[in-house]
Structure 1
Amino acid sequence: MAPKSTHCVMPLWATTWAVISSLICIYDATYVLVRPRSMAKGDLFHIFFPYAKYITVDPLYGNLKNAFVIGQSWMNCVELTLALLSVVLYYVLRKRNTGCFLLLIASTMTWSKTVLYFIHDYYERPLHPQDLPIKIETWEYYCMFILPSSLWVVFPFLCMWSIGGQILTILNSINEKTKTK
């Protein structure tokens, strides 16, 4: 069935996800990029105190010598910029298709980076058990790392599916109109 218009619709849940996840990622990336100032005994620790517990389940966040978490934090900055720009384009500038397209790109980047982070954790953790700051319980690992981080797999995938499907429908509709002319 052809769409009624050639405009992509950004679902409200996707917009909400883009804004809330971007705010969380700003906080997260800032913690990493200003380390060691954001860590215990640092002058910014009062802003980032929840990470004192988080680094027990994700030791990359406490390891100042690991470049992977720094790279993923810079990628967070790119993704959240694109996600917030997509919302501005869609709602403020009324550039609906461009906003949807940017959210599709940002969601794809977020999804793939998060999957890579999970893969990295799966293979890296057993290689360096001595690097874990303290012994953690399995339930803590799942509740503080796996479950929350999984949101950055599920919601971006749903955005990719929803917006990508709309874009394909619009393109197929345009293609069908072109063939009939």
Structure 2
Amino acid sequence: MAIKTHTWISLWFLLTTPVILWDVGYCFMRPRSMIGGDLHWIWEPYGIYQNVDLLYGIPALEEANGFTNAQSLMNILETILNLTYLYLAHISPWPPATLIGFGSAALTLSKTMLYWAQEYFCGFCATGQNDVRTLVVYWVIPNGLWLLFPALIVYTLGKDLVGQLGLADRAEIAAKERKSE
């Protein structure tokens, strides 16, 4: 059975890989990646972000808050799964690739929902210091993309999986009917 692929999903997995790895690098290299650190030049835009989302800033680092690095570790797993999906869907076709892409997107969606929920339930402890414009431009929109696209991928690949399962079920029924004749 041919693997059904979606260009936009493959592009999302491909184009987000360097972004995710750049983010992981920033998180794991703190404090060297932060303002004043010898490697900050690699992560210059984080000079703004570390003050927008304090989980990425000095307060979380000083408090030894492990959430930022824990979610970065999850990002590595998700990226490995994304690249595995791309390989199995486009280079070495394997029908269960759809399940890997679905699982990866579901992990990303769940982790991002947890990130937002954690922020809500702590009373906006990491972002509450921002004015509305700063919060929307630097936190809601960028992080919202990590809700929107994975949700759309889960929906799309989920539909594909249901179709594949239906096809397999119909094939099994047909085989049993032929066998009983």
Q: Same fold (TM over 0.5)?
A: yes
Identity %: 27
The structure 1 segments of at least 4 consecutive aligned residues displaced by more than 4 Å after TM superposition are: none
Q: Which runs of 5+ in 2 are unaligned?
A: none
Q: Return the offset for 1:174.
A: 1.4
TM-score by length of 1: 0.88
Q: Does 1:178 align with 2:172?
A: yes
Which residue identity lines up with residue 70 of structure 1 in the other structure?
N
Q: Does 1:30 align with 2:28?
A: no
Separation of aligned partners in 1, 2:45 and 2:112: 21
Structure 1 segment 108-147 matched on structure 2, within 5 A: 108-126=106-124, 128=125, 135-147=129-141
Q: Number of aligned pairs?
A: 171
Larger RCO: Structure 1 or Structure 2 (Cα < 8 Å, ≥ 6 residues apart)? 1
Q: Kindly indicate whether the alpha-carbon contact (under 8 Å) linking 2:24 and 2:76 is maintained by their aligned counterparts in 1.
A: yes
What do the CA deviations read for 1:121-165 (whole angstroms, capped 9, x no partner)? 112244x4xx77x94211110111011111111111111111111
Q: Which runs of 5+ in 1 are unaligned?
A: 1-5
C-alpha RMSD of the superposition:
1.7
Which residue identity lines up with residue 84 of structure 1 in the other structure?
L
The match for 1:79 is: 78
The match for 1:102 is: 100
What do the CA deviations read for 1:27-75 (whole angstroms, capped 9, x no partner)? 0111001111101111110001111100122100012121111100000
Larger Cα Rg: Structure 1 or Structure 2?
Answer: 2
Separation of aligned partners in 2, 1:163 and 1:8: 11
TM-score by length of 2: 0.88
Q: Kindly indicate whether the alpha-carbon contact (under 8 Å) linking 1:90 and 1:99 is maintained by their aligned counterparts in 2.
A: yes
Separation of aligned partners in 2, 1:149 and 1:56: 15
Q: Kindly indicate whether the alpha-carbon contact (under 8 Å) linking 2:3 and 2:93 is maintained by their aligned counterparts in 1.
A: no
